[in-house]
Amino acid sequence: MRAIAFVGESGGSGKSTIASSLAAAAHEAGYKVCLVDMDPQGSLMNWARARASRDIDVIACGAARLPALLASLEEAGVALAILDTPGAQGAASTAAIGAAHLSLVPSRPSLFDLRAAARTREALKAIGAEFAFLLNQGPLAGQTARVQDCVEALAEMGELMSPLIPTRIDYQEATRRGRGVTEFNPSGAAAQEMRALSQAIKRRLSRARAVRRARRAA
């Protein structure tokens, strides 16, 4: 089983929205997926209540119970666990980072988010965690100078995942209805972005696994 964690100090950066749509895309690709809601706000639990189907498990979990939960999910044949954390550093984020094979840090194209991403990066690097950034909620009008500056800043701090995720109504509407964008509008641009992101994460996880194997063999 692979586990990815959405982490970051910036509230409203889109962790829960991307996590739910990513889970739906992975489920459609044939993976058994579980969403783990570690945020006291319970955004993913609300998403699950709005969802008509129970085909994707969503479980609320605190830091202390996370190792046991992940062990039970692996025993149950779950292929991908997606952990959603609060928008602040604390026990939940620390536990998620420690358990994840890859931590993803969404950031909006703003100075405040970049500063928060930099702080999260330091916490991730301190424990040698595998991580990458996601630029989220950019303008639809194209890659402005402000967005380009953020792309360069995040790339300097660490790997920046592709594609960049712009602000699209499909993300908000899908989340409101308890669906992923690939379910809500399968042929839309947001759905294409989420499928591409899912594939990029899969490749990144494969590279992380190869690095760990090389380190063990050294």
- Classify each residue of 19-49 as buried b or exposed e, where b means 16 or more C-beta atoms within 10 Å of its C-beta: bbbbbbbbbbeeebbbbbbbbeebbbbbbbe
Q: Which strand (E) or helix (H) includes residue 41?
A: none
Q: Give, to the nearest 10 degrees, the angle between helix 169-176 and helix 189-217.
A: 80
Q: What is the pLDDT of residue 66?
A: 98
Evaluate if pTM is beyond 0.75.
yes
Under 8 Å between Cβ of 103 and 4: yes
What is the DSSP code (8-state) at residue 52? S
* Domain containing residue 65: CATH number: 3.40.50.300
What is the DSSP code (8-state) at residue 29? T
Q: pLDDT per position in the chain (218 positions), as tens?
A: 999 999 998 778 899 999 999 999 999 999 999 999 999 999 999 999 999 889 999 999 999 999 999 999 999 999 999 999 997 788 999 999 999 999 999 998 888 888 889 999 999 999 889 999 999 988 876 667 778 888 888 888 988 999 999 999 999 999 999 999 999 999 999 999 999 999 999 999 988 777 667 666 76
4: helix, coil or strand? strand
Token pair for 106: 């969404």
Token pair for 137: 């909620």
CB atoms within 10 A of CB 17: 25
202: helix, coil or strand? helix
Under 8 Å between Cβ of 101 and 131: no
Which residue, among 131, 182, 187, 140, has the nearest Cα to 164 in the 3D structure? 140
Number of independent structural domains in the chain: 1
Q: What is the pLDDT of residue 143?
A: 63
Q: Cα dist. 142→44, 87, 98, 139, 200 in Å?
A: 30, 27, 36, 6, 21
Q: What is the pLDDT of residue 110?
A: 86
Q: Domain range spanning residue 53?
A: 2-217
